[in-house]
Structure 1
Amino acid sequence: MHDSIDLQAYFRRIGWEGALVPDMSTLQAIVTAHVAVIPFENLNPLLGLPVSLEPAALERKLVHEGRGGYCFEQNLLLQAVLREIGFEVSGLIARVLWTQPEDAITAQTHMLLRVEMAGESWLVDVGFGGQTLVGVLWLQADIEQTTQLEPFRLVQVEGDWRMQSLVRGQWLSLYRFDLRPVPPIDYVVANHYVSTHPDSKFVNHLNVARTLLDSRLSLRNREFTVRRMGHEPERHVLRDGAEVRRVLEREFLIELPAHPQLDQRLDNLPDKFPA
Protein backbone atom coordinates (compact mmCIF):
# COMPACT_ATOMS: atom_id res chain seq x y z
CA MET A 1 0.00 0.00 0.00
CA HIS A 2 1.27 3.48 -0.88
CA ASP A 3 1.23 5.65 2.26
CA SER A 4 1.08 9.16 0.78
CA ILE A 5 -1.10 11.43 2.92
CA ASP A 6 -2.10 15.11 2.86
CA LEU A 7 -0.58 16.09 6.19
CA GLN A 8 -1.98 19.61 6.24
CA ALA A 9 -5.53 18.36 5.67
CA TYR A 10 -5.08 15.75 8.40
CA PHE A 11 -3.80 18.30 10.89
CA ARG A 12 -6.68 20.64 10.10
CA ARG A 13 -9.05 17.74 10.76
CA ILE A 14 -7.61 17.00 14.22
CA GLY A 15 -7.02 20.65 15.06
CA TRP A 16 -3.31 20.31 15.74
CA GLU A 17 -0.54 22.79 14.97
CA GLY A 18 3.00 21.84 15.86
CA ALA A 19 6.47 21.21 14.55
CA LEU A 20 6.74 18.08 12.40
CA VAL A 21 9.53 16.50 14.41
CA PRO A 22 9.58 12.70 14.91
CA ASP A 23 9.90 12.82 18.69
CA MET A 24 7.83 11.75 21.71
CA SER A 25 6.23 15.14 22.24
CA THR A 26 4.91 15.18 18.67
CA LEU A 27 3.75 11.57 18.82
CA GLN A 28 1.87 12.10 22.08
CA ALA A 29 0.23 15.30 20.86
CA ILE A 30 -0.94 13.79 17.57
CA VAL A 31 -2.38 10.69 19.26
CA THR A 32 -4.27 12.80 21.81
CA ALA A 33 -5.69 15.12 19.15
CA HIS A 34 -6.58 12.25 16.81
CA VAL A 35 -8.67 10.24 19.27
CA ALA A 36 -10.51 13.35 20.49
CA VAL A 37 -11.71 14.27 17.00
CA ILE A 38 -11.81 11.20 14.73
CA PRO A 39 -14.30 8.79 16.32
CA PHE A 40 -14.33 5.04 16.29
CA GLU A 41 -17.42 4.07 14.27
CA ASN A 42 -18.79 1.25 12.11
CA LEU A 43 -21.50 2.93 10.05
CA ASN A 44 -20.22 1.47 6.77
CA PRO A 45 -20.59 -2.20 7.81
CA LEU A 46 -23.93 -1.41 9.47
CA LEU A 47 -25.18 0.02 6.18
CA GLY A 48 -23.71 -2.75 4.03
CA LEU A 49 -21.10 -0.40 2.55
CA PRO A 50 -17.53 -1.52 1.80
CA VAL A 51 -14.64 -0.56 4.08
CA SER A 52 -11.62 0.24 1.92
CA LEU A 53 -8.13 0.24 3.40
CA GLU A 54 -6.55 2.01 0.45
CA PRO A 55 -4.77 5.19 1.60
CA ALA A 56 -6.76 7.48 -0.69
CA ALA A 57 -10.04 6.03 0.60
CA LEU A 58 -8.94 6.37 4.23
CA GLU A 59 -7.93 9.99 3.71
CA ARG A 60 -11.18 10.79 1.90
CA LYS A 61 -13.40 9.24 4.57
CA LEU A 62 -11.63 10.08 7.84
CA VAL A 63 -10.05 13.39 6.85
CA HIS A 64 -12.18 15.07 4.18
CA GLU A 65 -15.66 13.60 4.79
CA GLY A 66 -15.74 14.09 8.55
CA ARG A 67 -16.19 10.40 9.29
CA GLY A 68 -14.48 7.96 11.63
CA GLY A 69 -13.67 4.29 11.34
CA TYR A 70 -12.51 1.23 13.22
CA CYS A 71 -9.05 -0.09 14.03
CA PHE A 72 -7.73 -0.88 10.55
CA GLU A 73 -8.86 2.46 9.16
CA GLN A 74 -7.72 4.50 12.17
CA ASN A 75 -4.30 2.94 12.61
CA LEU A 76 -3.48 2.68 8.92
CA LEU A 77 -4.26 6.39 8.55
CA LEU A 78 -2.11 7.25 11.55
CA GLN A 79 0.68 4.99 10.30
CA ALA A 80 0.75 6.91 7.02
CA VAL A 81 0.83 10.22 8.88
CA LEU A 82 3.66 9.16 11.19
CA ARG A 83 5.75 7.78 8.34
CA GLU A 84 5.31 11.03 6.41
CA ILE A 85 6.65 12.93 9.42
CA GLY A 86 9.64 10.60 9.68
CA PHE A 87 8.74 8.10 12.39
CA GLU A 88 9.79 4.47 12.07
CA VAL A 89 6.45 2.70 12.46
CA SER A 90 5.09 -0.76 11.68
CA GLY A 91 1.76 -2.49 12.14
CA LEU A 92 0.93 -5.40 14.45
CA ILE A 93 -2.17 -7.60 14.60
CA ALA A 94 -4.00 -8.82 17.70
CA ARG A 95 -6.65 -11.20 19.00
CA VAL A 96 -9.31 -9.32 20.98
CA LEU A 97 -9.89 -10.52 24.56
CA TRP A 98 -12.09 -7.66 25.80
CA THR A 99 -15.21 -9.21 27.44
CA GLN A 100 -13.75 -12.65 26.63
CA PRO A 101 -12.08 -15.26 28.89
CA GLU A 102 -8.32 -14.88 29.18
CA ASP A 103 -7.76 -18.21 27.38
CA ALA A 104 -10.18 -17.47 24.52
CA ILE A 105 -8.94 -18.20 21.00
CA THR A 106 -10.32 -15.35 18.95
CA ALA A 107 -9.58 -14.31 15.38
CA GLN A 108 -6.89 -11.75 14.58
CA THR A 109 -9.21 -8.79 14.05
CA HIS A 110 -7.41 -5.84 15.63
CA MET A 111 -4.56 -3.62 14.46
CA LEU A 112 -2.13 -1.58 16.53
CA LEU A 113 1.14 0.24 15.81
CA ARG A 114 4.73 -0.15 16.96
CA VAL A 115 6.97 2.92 16.84
CA GLU A 116 10.78 2.80 17.17
CA MET A 117 12.29 5.89 18.70
CA ALA A 118 15.59 6.65 20.42
CA GLY A 119 16.44 2.96 20.67
CA GLU A 120 13.16 2.04 22.37
CA SER A 121 9.90 0.50 21.16
CA TRP A 122 6.53 2.15 21.81
CA LEU A 123 2.94 1.14 21.15
CA VAL A 124 0.20 3.35 19.75
CA ASP A 125 -3.43 2.36 19.19
CA VAL A 126 -6.05 4.92 18.14
CA GLY A 127 -8.69 2.33 17.23
CA PHE A 128 -9.89 0.23 20.15
CA GLY A 129 -13.32 1.72 20.65
CA GLY A 130 -14.31 2.34 24.26
CA GLN A 131 -10.81 1.58 25.61
CA THR A 132 -8.75 3.42 23.03
CA LEU A 133 -5.36 4.58 24.27
CA VAL A 134 -5.13 8.31 24.78
CA GLY A 135 -1.33 8.12 24.88
CA VAL A 136 1.77 6.14 24.01
CA LEU A 137 2.93 3.01 25.85
CA TRP A 138 6.50 1.86 26.33
CA LEU A 139 6.90 -1.71 25.09
CA GLN A 140 7.99 -3.05 28.46
CA ALA A 141 6.32 -5.80 30.49
CA ASP A 142 4.88 -5.57 34.01
CA ILE A 143 5.04 -1.81 34.44
CA GLU A 144 1.93 0.21 35.25
CA GLN A 145 1.89 3.13 32.82
CA THR A 146 -0.24 6.16 33.56
CA THR A 147 -2.32 7.88 30.91
CA GLN A 148 -4.72 10.82 31.12
CA LEU A 149 -7.44 8.20 31.71
CA GLU A 150 -6.96 4.63 33.04
CA PRO A 151 -3.55 3.15 33.81
CA PHE A 152 -2.41 0.57 31.25
CA ARG A 153 0.18 -2.17 31.35
CA LEU A 154 1.67 -4.88 29.16
CA VAL A 155 2.18 -8.44 30.36
CA GLN A 156 3.71 -11.46 28.66
CA VAL A 157 1.96 -14.83 28.76
CA GLU A 158 3.40 -17.86 26.96
CA GLY A 159 5.25 -15.77 24.41
CA ASP A 160 2.40 -13.36 23.68
CA TRP A 161 2.00 -9.78 24.83
CA ARG A 162 -1.28 -8.67 26.41
CA MET A 163 -2.52 -5.12 26.55
CA GLN A 164 -4.41 -4.47 29.79
CA SER A 165 -6.19 -1.54 31.39
CA LEU A 166 -7.13 -1.00 35.03
CA VAL A 167 -10.93 -0.79 35.22
CA ARG A 168 -12.64 -0.46 38.61
CA GLY A 169 -9.58 -1.84 40.36
CA GLN A 170 -9.19 -4.87 38.09
CA TRP A 171 -6.68 -5.46 35.31
CA LEU A 172 -8.60 -6.50 32.19
CA SER A 173 -7.04 -7.69 28.93
CA LEU A 174 -7.95 -5.81 25.77
CA TYR A 175 -6.11 -8.09 23.35
CA ARG A 176 -3.05 -10.30 22.87
CA PHE A 177 -0.45 -10.01 20.14
CA ASP A 178 3.11 -10.81 19.14
CA LEU A 179 5.77 -8.64 17.54
CA ARG A 180 6.05 -10.34 14.15
CA PRO A 181 5.77 -8.02 11.13
CA VAL A 182 2.33 -8.16 9.50
CA PRO A 183 1.96 -8.14 5.70
CA PRO A 184 -0.81 -5.80 4.46
CA ILE A 185 -2.86 -8.72 3.08
CA ASP A 186 -3.51 -9.92 6.65
CA TYR A 187 -5.26 -6.62 7.40
CA VAL A 188 -7.26 -6.88 4.17
CA VAL A 189 -8.50 -10.37 5.08
CA ALA A 190 -9.35 -9.44 8.69
CA ASN A 191 -11.07 -6.25 7.55
CA HIS A 192 -13.19 -8.22 5.07
CA TYR A 193 -14.33 -10.54 7.84
CA VAL A 194 -15.30 -7.88 10.38
CA SER A 195 -17.01 -5.67 7.79
CA THR A 196 -19.01 -8.32 5.90
CA HIS A 197 -19.40 -11.58 7.83
CA PRO A 198 -23.02 -12.09 8.96
CA ASP A 199 -21.86 -12.95 12.50
CA SER A 200 -19.74 -9.82 12.87
CA LYS A 201 -20.99 -7.40 15.53
CA PHE A 202 -19.91 -4.54 13.27
CA VAL A 203 -22.40 -5.69 10.63
CA ASN A 204 -25.30 -6.05 13.04
CA HIS A 205 -24.81 -3.42 15.75
CA LEU A 206 -23.81 0.23 16.09
CA ASN A 207 -20.53 0.78 17.95
CA VAL A 208 -19.18 4.32 18.28
CA ALA A 209 -16.62 5.84 20.66
CA ARG A 210 -14.71 9.05 21.23
CA THR A 211 -11.82 9.49 23.67
CA LEU A 212 -11.21 12.82 25.38
CA LEU A 213 -8.58 13.74 27.96
CA ASP A 214 -11.10 13.60 30.81
CA SER A 215 -13.76 11.19 29.60
CA ARG A 216 -14.81 8.41 27.27
CA LEU A 217 -17.97 8.60 25.18
CA SER A 218 -19.55 5.47 23.75
CA LEU A 219 -22.70 4.64 21.82
CA ARG A 220 -23.51 0.95 21.55
CA ASN A 221 -26.75 0.57 19.65
CA ARG A 222 -29.04 3.02 21.54
CA GLU A 223 -27.11 3.12 24.83
CA PHE A 224 -25.10 6.34 25.08
CA THR A 225 -22.57 6.34 27.95
CA VAL A 226 -20.24 9.01 29.32
CA ARG A 227 -17.43 7.74 31.56
CA ARG A 228 -15.44 10.24 33.59
CA MET A 229 -12.57 9.08 35.73
CA GLY A 230 -13.60 8.80 39.38
CA HIS A 231 -17.33 8.99 38.64
CA GLU A 232 -20.06 6.49 37.97
CA PRO A 233 -20.88 6.07 34.26
CA GLU A 234 -23.73 8.22 32.94
CA ARG A 235 -25.95 5.95 30.84
CA HIS A 236 -28.75 7.12 28.56
CA VAL A 237 -30.98 4.91 26.40
CA LEU A 238 -31.82 6.97 23.34
CA ARG A 239 -35.47 6.95 22.37
CA ASP A 240 -35.34 6.62 18.60
CA GLY A 241 -33.27 6.93 15.47
CA ALA A 242 -33.61 10.71 15.41
CA GLU A 243 -32.04 10.95 18.85
CA VAL A 244 -29.27 8.55 17.80
CA ARG A 245 -28.59 10.77 14.79
CA ARG A 246 -28.32 13.88 16.99
CA VAL A 247 -25.88 12.18 19.35
CA LEU A 248 -23.75 10.92 16.46
CA GLU A 249 -23.51 14.43 15.05
CA ARG A 250 -23.17 16.48 18.24
CA GLU A 251 -21.26 14.22 20.62
CA PHE A 252 -19.19 12.18 18.15
CA LEU A 253 -18.69 14.93 15.54
CA ILE A 254 -19.68 12.62 12.66
CA GLU A 255 -20.84 13.99 9.33
CA LEU A 256 -23.38 11.28 8.61
CA PRO A 257 -23.41 9.72 5.14
CA ALA A 258 -26.33 10.41 2.84
CA HIS A 259 -27.56 6.84 2.65
CA PRO A 260 -31.20 5.87 1.92
CA GLN A 261 -31.23 3.22 4.66
CA LEU A 262 -29.50 5.20 7.42
CA ASP A 263 -32.62 6.39 9.23
CA GLN A 264 -34.22 2.94 9.05
CA ARG A 265 -31.12 1.25 10.46
CA LEU A 266 -30.91 3.76 13.31
CA ASP A 267 -34.63 3.40 14.07
CA ASN A 268 -34.33 -0.40 14.29
CA LEU A 269 -31.35 -0.54 16.66
CA PRO A 270 -31.94 -2.59 19.84
CA ASP A 271 -31.41 -0.93 23.23
CA LYS A 272 -28.44 -3.02 24.31
CA PHE A 273 -25.23 -4.21 22.69
CA PRO A 274 -24.50 -7.97 22.93
CA ALA A 275 -21.80 -9.11 25.35
Structure 2
Amino acid sequence: MSDDFDLNAYLRRIGYHPTPAVDVQTLRGLAVAHVAALPFENLNPWLGMPVLLSVDALERKLVQGGRGGYCFEQNGLFAAALRAIGFEVQTLIARVLWNRPEDAITAQTHMLLQITLDGESWLADVGFGALALAGALRLQPDIEQPTALEPFRLLQHGDEWVMQGCVRGAWLPLYRFDLRPHPPIDYEVANHYVSTHPQSHFVNLLIVDRTASDRRLSLCDREFTVRRLGAEPERRTLRSVAELRHVLESEFLLRLPDEDALDRRLEALPEGD
Protein backbone atom coordinates (compact mmCIF):
# COMPACT_ATOMS: atom_id res chain seq x y z
CA MET A 1 0.00 0.00 0.00
CA SER A 2 1.12 3.56 -0.75
CA ASP A 3 1.94 6.10 1.95
CA ASP A 4 1.20 9.04 -0.41
CA PHE A 5 -2.58 8.60 -0.39
CA ASP A 6 -4.69 8.67 2.79
CA LEU A 7 -6.49 5.41 2.09
CA ASN A 8 -8.10 5.20 5.52
CA ALA A 9 -9.67 8.65 5.12
CA TYR A 10 -11.00 7.66 1.69
CA LEU A 11 -12.48 4.42 3.03
CA ARG A 12 -14.17 6.31 5.87
CA ARG A 13 -15.54 8.86 3.39
CA ILE A 14 -17.22 6.18 1.26
CA GLY A 15 -18.27 4.03 4.24
CA TYR A 16 -16.32 0.96 3.15
CA HIS A 17 -15.54 -1.19 6.19
CA PRO A 18 -14.02 -4.52 5.00
CA THR A 19 -10.24 -4.74 4.84
CA PRO A 20 -9.43 -4.04 1.18
CA ALA A 21 -7.58 -6.65 -0.83
CA VAL A 22 -6.39 -6.84 -4.42
CA ASP A 23 -9.33 -8.89 -5.68
CA VAL A 24 -12.56 -8.54 -7.65
CA GLN A 25 -14.77 -8.47 -4.55
CA THR A 26 -12.93 -5.40 -3.25
CA LEU A 27 -12.94 -3.70 -6.66
CA ARG A 28 -16.68 -4.11 -7.02
CA GLY A 29 -17.43 -3.25 -3.41
CA LEU A 30 -15.37 -0.06 -3.54
CA ALA A 31 -17.12 1.07 -6.73
CA VAL A 32 -20.58 0.52 -5.21
CA ALA A 33 -19.64 2.40 -2.03
CA HIS A 34 -17.93 5.21 -3.96
CA VAL A 35 -20.89 6.09 -6.20
CA ALA A 36 -23.29 5.95 -3.24
CA ALA A 37 -21.22 8.34 -1.12
CA LEU A 38 -19.55 10.73 -3.59
CA PRO A 39 -22.03 12.53 -5.85
CA PHE A 40 -21.30 13.47 -9.42
CA GLU A 41 -21.52 17.27 -9.44
CA ASN A 42 -20.30 20.27 -11.40
CA LEU A 43 -20.59 23.08 -8.86
CA ASN A 44 -17.05 24.32 -9.46
CA PRO A 45 -17.32 24.98 -13.22
CA TRP A 46 -20.92 26.13 -12.81
CA LEU A 47 -19.72 28.75 -10.30
CA GLY A 48 -16.65 29.68 -12.35
CA MET A 49 -14.26 27.96 -9.94
CA PRO A 50 -11.28 25.87 -11.14
CA VAL A 51 -11.33 22.07 -11.29
CA LEU A 52 -7.97 20.72 -10.11
CA LEU A 53 -6.89 17.15 -10.84
CA SER A 54 -3.85 16.55 -8.64
CA VAL A 55 -4.37 13.77 -6.11
CA ASP A 56 -3.84 16.24 -3.26
CA ALA A 57 -6.54 18.52 -4.66
CA LEU A 58 -8.94 15.60 -5.13
CA GLU A 59 -8.40 14.45 -1.54
CA ARG A 60 -9.00 17.96 -0.20
CA LYS A 61 -12.20 18.44 -2.17
CA LEU A 62 -13.86 15.02 -2.34
CA VAL A 63 -12.55 13.33 0.81
CA GLN A 64 -11.94 16.13 3.30
CA GLY A 65 -14.28 18.75 1.84
CA GLY A 66 -17.46 16.69 1.61
CA ARG A 67 -17.83 17.42 -2.08
CA GLY A 68 -18.19 15.39 -5.26
CA GLY A 69 -17.00 16.03 -8.77
CA TYR A 70 -17.22 14.88 -12.35
CA CYS A 71 -15.44 12.10 -14.24
CA PHE A 72 -11.86 13.36 -14.14
CA GLU A 73 -12.14 13.96 -10.40
CA GLN A 74 -14.15 10.85 -9.52
CA ASN A 75 -12.09 8.38 -11.51
CA GLY A 76 -8.87 10.19 -10.65
CA LEU A 77 -9.60 9.72 -6.96
CA PHE A 78 -10.75 6.13 -7.47
CA ALA A 79 -7.57 5.32 -9.40
CA ALA A 80 -5.45 6.75 -6.57
CA ALA A 81 -7.33 4.66 -4.01
CA LEU A 82 -7.01 1.48 -6.06
CA ARG A 83 -3.30 2.04 -6.56
CA ALA A 84 -2.85 2.66 -2.83
CA ILE A 85 -4.39 -0.76 -2.20
CA GLY A 86 -2.12 -2.37 -4.79
CA PHE A 87 -4.24 -2.64 -7.93
CA GLU A 88 -2.66 -2.19 -11.36
CA VAL A 89 -4.62 0.71 -12.93
CA GLN A 90 -4.48 2.38 -16.35
CA THR A 91 -6.53 5.49 -17.16
CA LEU A 92 -8.41 5.58 -20.47
CA ILE A 93 -10.17 8.40 -22.29
CA ALA A 94 -13.50 8.18 -24.13
CA ARG A 95 -15.82 10.02 -26.51
CA VAL A 96 -19.25 10.46 -24.92
CA LEU A 97 -22.20 9.11 -26.94
CA TRP A 98 -24.98 9.56 -24.36
CA ASN A 99 -28.07 10.97 -26.10
CA ARG A 100 -26.15 10.95 -29.41
CA PRO A 101 -25.93 8.54 -32.38
CA GLU A 102 -23.43 5.74 -31.86
CA ASP A 103 -21.36 6.95 -34.84
CA ALA A 104 -21.20 10.57 -33.61
CA ILE A 105 -17.75 12.20 -33.58
CA THR A 106 -17.41 13.80 -30.17
CA ALA A 107 -14.47 15.14 -28.19
CA GLN A 108 -12.52 12.92 -25.81
CA THR A 109 -13.98 14.26 -22.59
CA HIS A 110 -14.54 11.25 -20.35
CA MET A 111 -12.16 9.24 -18.16
CA LEU A 112 -12.55 5.58 -17.20
CA LEU A 113 -10.23 3.00 -15.68
CA GLN A 114 -8.76 -0.31 -16.82
CA ILE A 115 -7.65 -2.64 -14.03
CA THR A 116 -5.47 -5.71 -14.57
CA LEU A 117 -6.13 -8.41 -12.01
CA ASP A 118 -4.62 -11.90 -12.15
CA GLY A 119 -3.98 -11.48 -15.86
CA GLU A 120 -7.56 -10.40 -16.64
CA SER A 121 -8.68 -6.89 -17.62
CA TRP A 122 -11.58 -5.13 -15.91
CA LEU A 123 -13.21 -1.74 -16.39
CA ALA A 124 -14.35 0.61 -13.65
CA ASP A 125 -16.10 3.96 -14.05
CA VAL A 126 -17.42 5.79 -11.00
CA GLY A 127 -17.75 9.07 -12.91
CA PHE A 128 -20.49 8.74 -15.52
CA GLY A 129 -23.10 10.78 -13.71
CA ALA A 130 -26.63 9.50 -14.17
CA LEU A 131 -25.43 6.02 -15.19
CA ALA A 132 -22.35 5.54 -13.03
CA LEU A 133 -21.09 1.97 -12.98
CA ALA A 134 -21.96 0.47 -9.60
CA GLY A 135 -19.48 -2.38 -9.92
CA ALA A 136 -16.87 -3.44 -12.47
CA LEU A 137 -17.00 -5.13 -15.88
CA ARG A 138 -14.80 -7.76 -17.45
CA LEU A 139 -13.20 -6.43 -20.62
CA GLN A 140 -15.11 -8.91 -22.78
CA PRO A 141 -17.39 -8.05 -25.71
CA ASP A 142 -20.97 -9.07 -26.38
CA ILE A 143 -21.95 -10.36 -22.95
CA GLU A 144 -24.51 -8.82 -20.62
CA GLN A 145 -22.87 -8.11 -17.26
CA PRO A 146 -24.99 -7.45 -14.16
CA THR A 147 -24.21 -4.67 -11.68
CA ALA A 148 -25.90 -3.51 -8.51
CA LEU A 149 -28.47 -1.76 -10.74
CA GLU A 150 -28.73 -1.94 -14.55
CA PRO A 151 -26.82 -4.48 -16.65
CA PHE A 152 -24.05 -3.22 -18.93
CA ARG A 153 -22.27 -4.65 -21.95
CA LEU A 154 -19.30 -3.89 -24.17
CA LEU A 155 -19.20 -4.01 -27.97
CA GLN A 156 -15.93 -4.21 -29.89
CA HIS A 157 -15.29 -2.78 -33.36
CA GLY A 158 -11.64 -3.35 -34.26
CA ASP A 159 -9.55 -1.41 -31.75
CA GLU A 160 -12.57 0.52 -30.45
CA TRP A 161 -14.97 -0.45 -27.70
CA VAL A 162 -18.45 0.91 -26.96
CA MET A 163 -19.91 0.89 -23.46
CA GLN A 164 -23.67 0.37 -23.33
CA GLY A 165 -26.17 0.40 -20.48
CA CYS A 166 -29.61 -1.22 -20.49
CA VAL A 167 -32.13 1.49 -19.57
CA ARG A 168 -35.76 0.40 -19.31
CA GLY A 169 -35.12 -2.51 -21.65
CA ALA A 170 -33.17 -0.61 -24.31
CA TRP A 171 -29.40 -0.83 -24.84
CA LEU A 172 -28.05 2.73 -25.05
CA PRO A 173 -24.47 3.76 -25.91
CA LEU A 174 -22.62 5.66 -23.19
CA TYR A 175 -19.23 6.24 -24.81
CA ARG A 176 -16.61 4.94 -27.23
CA PHE A 177 -12.97 4.32 -26.25
CA ASP A 178 -9.83 2.37 -27.03
CA LEU A 179 -7.19 0.85 -24.77
CA ARG A 180 -4.30 3.18 -25.55
CA PRO A 181 -2.70 4.74 -22.46
CA HIS A 182 -2.81 8.53 -22.24
CA PRO A 183 -0.46 10.90 -20.39
CA PRO A 184 -1.87 13.23 -17.71
CA ILE A 185 -1.76 16.25 -20.05
CA ASP A 186 -4.55 14.73 -22.17
CA TYR A 187 -6.87 14.72 -19.18
CA GLU A 188 -5.78 18.22 -18.17
CA VAL A 189 -6.65 19.57 -21.62
CA ALA A 190 -10.01 17.78 -21.71
CA ASN A 191 -10.78 18.94 -18.18
CA HIS A 192 -9.98 22.55 -19.10
CA TYR A 193 -12.33 22.34 -22.08
CA VAL A 194 -15.34 20.90 -20.23
CA SER A 195 -14.88 23.16 -17.20
CA THR A 196 -14.41 26.48 -19.02
CA HIS A 197 -15.73 26.38 -22.59
CA PRO A 198 -18.78 28.65 -22.90
CA GLN A 199 -20.76 25.91 -24.66
CA SER A 200 -19.96 23.19 -22.13
CA HIS A 201 -23.05 21.94 -20.31
CA PHE A 202 -20.94 21.78 -17.14
CA VAL A 203 -20.61 25.57 -17.33
CA ASN A 204 -24.25 26.26 -18.20
CA LEU A 205 -26.32 23.67 -16.29
CA LEU A 206 -26.40 22.54 -12.68
CA ILE A 207 -25.88 18.77 -12.87
CA VAL A 208 -25.81 16.49 -9.83
CA ASP A 209 -26.22 12.70 -9.67
CA ARG A 210 -25.89 9.99 -7.04
CA THR A 211 -26.23 6.23 -7.38
CA ALA A 212 -27.65 4.63 -4.24
CA SER A 213 -28.07 0.89 -3.71
CA ASP A 214 -31.65 0.86 -5.03
CA ARG A 215 -32.10 4.05 -7.02
CA ARG A 216 -30.46 6.77 -9.06
CA LEU A 217 -30.90 10.44 -8.09
CA SER A 218 -30.47 13.27 -10.59
CA LEU A 219 -30.76 17.04 -10.51
CA CYS A 220 -30.62 19.13 -13.69
CA ASP A 221 -31.13 22.78 -12.83
CA ARG A 222 -34.43 22.66 -10.87
CA GLU A 223 -35.67 19.21 -11.96
CA PHE A 224 -35.07 16.52 -9.33
CA THR A 225 -35.57 12.94 -10.54
CA VAL A 226 -35.53 9.59 -8.73
CA ARG A 227 -35.22 6.46 -10.89
CA ARG A 228 -35.83 2.95 -9.57
CA LEU A 229 -35.62 -0.25 -11.57
CA GLY A 230 -38.98 -1.34 -12.95
CA ALA A 231 -40.73 1.94 -12.05
CA GLU A 232 -41.54 5.19 -13.78
CA PRO A 233 -39.17 8.05 -12.94
CA GLU A 234 -40.38 10.34 -10.14
CA ARG A 235 -39.86 14.00 -11.04
CA ARG A 236 -40.48 17.26 -9.24
CA THR A 237 -39.43 20.85 -9.72
CA LEU A 238 -37.56 22.56 -6.90
CA ARG A 239 -38.94 26.09 -6.74
CA SER A 240 -36.89 27.82 -4.04
CA VAL A 241 -33.26 28.19 -3.05
CA ALA A 242 -34.12 26.54 0.26
CA GLU A 243 -35.56 23.50 -1.55
CA LEU A 244 -32.52 23.26 -3.80
CA ARG A 245 -30.13 23.50 -0.87
CA HIS A 246 -32.07 20.91 1.10
CA VAL A 247 -32.01 18.37 -1.76
CA LEU A 248 -28.32 19.00 -2.47
CA GLU A 249 -27.44 18.41 1.17
CA SER A 250 -29.87 15.64 2.17
CA GLU A 251 -30.30 13.62 -1.06
CA PHE A 252 -26.90 14.19 -2.65
CA LEU A 253 -24.98 14.33 0.66
CA LEU A 254 -23.09 17.46 -0.37
CA ARG A 255 -21.29 19.88 1.89
CA LEU A 256 -22.03 22.99 -0.13
CA PRO A 257 -19.22 25.44 -0.91
CA ASP A 258 -19.23 28.62 1.12
CA GLU A 259 -19.52 30.89 -1.89
CA ASP A 260 -21.71 34.00 -2.06
CA ALA A 261 -22.31 33.21 -5.72
CA LEU A 262 -24.03 29.90 -4.96
CA ASP A 263 -27.38 31.28 -3.78
CA ARG A 264 -27.38 33.83 -6.59
CA ARG A 265 -26.88 31.11 -9.20
CA LEU A 266 -29.52 28.91 -7.56
CA GLU A 267 -31.99 31.79 -7.49
CA ALA A 268 -31.33 32.54 -11.16
CA LEU A 269 -31.99 28.99 -12.39
CA PRO A 270 -34.74 28.93 -15.05
CA GLU A 271 -38.15 28.07 -13.66
CA GLY A 272 -39.04 25.55 -16.38
CA ASP A 273 -42.60 24.44 -17.00
User: What is the TM-score of this pair, normalised by structure 2?
Assistant: 0.97
Q: Structure 1, residues 53-100: CA drift from partner, whole Å, max 9, x if none?
A: 011110000000100000000001010110010000110000000001
How far apart are 1:103 and its partner, in Å?
1.3
Aligned residue for 1:104?
104
Match of 1:157 in 2: 157
Task: Show the 5 A alignment for 1:54-73.
Answer: 54-73=54-73
- Name the counterpart of 2:120: 120
Paired amino acid for 2:193: Y
Partner of 1:237: 237
Alignment map for 1:53-92 (pairs within 5 Å): 53-92=53-92
Whole-angstrom CA distance in 1 between matches of 2:206 and 2:3:
29
Name the SS for the 1:155 alignment partner: strand
Output aligned runs, 1:1-275, within 5 Å: 4-271=4-271
**What 5-or-longer segments of structure 2 have no aligned partner?**
none
RMSD over aligned Cα, in angstroms?
1.3
Alignment TM-score, normalising by the size of structure 1:
0.96
CA–CA separation in structure 1 for the residues paired with 2:252 and 2:271:
19
For residues 187-224 of structure 1, the C-alpha deviation after alignment (integer angstroms, 9 at most, x for no partner) is: 00000000011110000110100001211000011100
Percent identity (aligned): 65
Q: Tell me the distance in 2 between the aligned counterparts of 1:268 and 1:138.
A: 44
Work out the CA distance in 2 between the residues paired with 1:189 and 1:157: 27
Contact 1:194 1:200 in 2 (8 A): yes
Q: Any conservation in 1 of the 2:168–2:230 contact (CA below 8 Å)?
A: no
Amino acid of the structure 1 residue aligned with 2:51: V
Quote the Cα distance in structure 1 between the aligned partners of 2:54 and 2:34.
Answer: 19
Residues 215 and 228, structure 2, Cα contact 8 Å, conserved in 1? yes
Distance 1:3 1:135 in 2: 26
Q: Is the Cα contact below 8 Å between 1:31 and 1:134 reproduced in 2?
A: yes
Aligned counterparts of 2:243 and 2:3: Cα–Cα separation in 1: 38
Instruction: Note the alpha carbon deviations across 1:111-166, whole angstroms, 9 max, x for none.
Output: 00000001110000000000000010000000001112111000013531000011
| In structure 2, distance between residues paired with 1:4 and 1:94 | 28
In structure 2, distance between residues paired with 1:97 and 1:20? 34
2:180 is matched by which residue type in structure 1? Answer: R
Conserved 8 A contact 2:154-2:161? yes
What residue identity is the alignment partner of 1:238?
Answer: L
Q: Distance in 2 between matches of 1:168 and 1:25?
A: 27
Moved more, 151-160 or 31-40: 151-160
- In the TM superposition, residue 3 of structure 1 has moved relative to its aligned partner by 9.4
Using the alignment, how far apart are the partners of 1:104 and 1:3 within structure 2? 43
Contact 1:46-1:202 within 8 A present in 2 as well: yes
The answer as to whether partners of 1:71 and 1:111 remain within 8 angstroms in 2 is yes
Q: 4+ runs of 1 displaced by more than 2 Å?
A: none
2-structure distance, mates of 1:157, 1:270: 41
Size of the aligned set, in residue pairs, is 271
CA separation in 1, counterparts of 2:156 and 2:28?
25
Query: Which whole-Å CA distance do the structure 1 matches of 2:20 and 2:136 have between them?
Result: 17
Amino acid at match of 1:33: A
